[in-house]
Amino acid sequence: MNLKETYSSLCSEFYDLDKPGAPEEALKFYLREIENSIKPVFEPMCGSGRFLIPVAERGFDIEGTDTSLFMINRCINKCREKNLSPLIHRQKLQELSLNKKFGLVFIPSGSFGLITEDSDVKECLKRIRGHLFNGGKFILEIENTQSIKNNSREEIPAVREVFRNEFSKIVYSAETDYDIKINIETTKCEYQNFINGELINTENEIIKVRHFSIGEFYELLKSAGFTDINALKPYSYKKRKIMTLYCLAVRLK
């Protein structure tokens, strides 16, 4: 999937207004991992910074990458407002090349699922491994195929709206389809920009997210050279075999 085709202007603004901060439980989990890890820290696919910014606010040395120029600009602008200056790079994850290594790489919120092609998934994992110190750790969240089979995923409303102020809003509508043969969820998104009740412009995007089985992703990580791989209950250290969304803590020997 070409990530440059997603997260345009209205989409990025809607995302920021709809998800203004990181979920408290998730943020606590990652901050705890960061505190106990080798520094510096790296967040690929950092988006508009809902995790990166609170990490930087706590004084941790963190860098980020994303492919969406709109997301990056929103992240940089919010950092400037807070007098923060973490390095933010515009790079595809499958082309990651920072000439630097990190003690912890993390990808929260299931963003890694936006990488849908087998060859890209494998290349991304190799690139991440290549940017880790020996003894470094990689943590990410992915959507598990079992959640579809068990119908256990949280339902998200197909139509939502967010307000900039009392005169201006963005209306989001979506149609989602899941292809069980390839474990890819496709969402057709429409973003409508209203000012004073008048429709100003519309953006349409198609976002695809790949789901993985635990065994499948374990093998992908292993083939990329990772060791000590654990599937965890979200934001905890309890090992689980089946879950909707899970973290993998990966250490390099």
Would you state the pLDDT for residue 145?
81
Would you state the pLDDT for residue 252?
62
Would you state the pLDDT for residue 150?
56
Helix (H) or strand (E) holding 168: strand 168-179
Report the sign of the C-alpha dihedral through residues 5, 9, 15, 16, in that order: positive
**How does pLDDT run along the chain (253 residues), one tens digit per residue?**
343 456 889 999 999 999 989 999 999 999 999 999 999 999 999 999 999 999 999 999 999 999 999 999 999 999 999 999 999 999 999 999 999 999 999 999 989 999 999 999 999 999 999 999 998 999 999 888 876 655 545 566 789 999 999 999 999 999 999 999 999 999 999 999 999 999 999 999 999 999 998 889 999 999 999 988 888 877 877 665 443 445 666 666 5
Q: How far apart are CA 97 and CA 119, in angstroms?
A: 17
- Whole-structure pTM value: 0.90
Hunting for tokens 């990190």 — which residue is that? 102
Helix (H, G, I), strand (E, B) or coil at 42: strand
Would you state the pLDDT for residue 151?
57
Helix (H) or strand (E) holding 228: strand 227-232
Would you state the pLDDT for residue 231?
85
Would you state the pLDDT for residue 248?
65
Would you state the pLDDT for residue 175?
94
CA atoms within 13 A on the CB side of 46: 30
What is the full DSSP assignment across 92-103?
Answer: -GGG---S--EE
Would you state the pLDDT for residue 143?
87
